Amino acid sequence: MCVTCAAVFLWKGATSPLTLDAEELCHETGITVVPDFVANAGGVISSYVEWKGGGKDEVFPLVEERVAGNTTRVLQAALDRGITPRQAALSPGQGTGSGHPAPC
């Protein structure tokens, strides 16, 4: 199958809409794919703020700070190391050091 795409970046939605092979193919063809667990962290952050009694005045700045910061770190690590953003996000030293995604 031959597929063409003019995208430079893809931000994945929830529940992994691309296979790992498709992510790898995107990487090989110069398309950067931001993993779903990085791109969609805002919902988890919002739930946390709500759980602790905070409101929208606290949610939006925190979501912006965390999602933007984590996305920047993941993309920079991927670029520096020549690996996919998923590999960068899951690699020790990028997130928790345990091979799990960076915390929200």
Domain ranges in the chain?
9-90
Q: Looking at the whole model, is its pTM more than 0.75? A: no
Look at the domain 9-90 and name its fold: Rossmann fold (3.40.50)
Per-residue pLDDT reduced to its tens digit, 31-65: 888 888 888 888 888 999 999 999 889 999 998 89
- Residue 76 has φ and ψ, to the nearest 5°, of -65, -40
Helices and strands (H, E) in the chain, number of each type? 5, 2
The SS3 assignment for 85 reads helix
pLDDT band at 16 (very low <50, low <70, confident <90, very high): low
Q: Distance (Å, rounded) from C-alpha 94 to C-alpha 69?
A: 12
Q: What is the pLDDT of residues 60-82, one digit of tens each?
A: 999 889 888 999 999 999 999 99
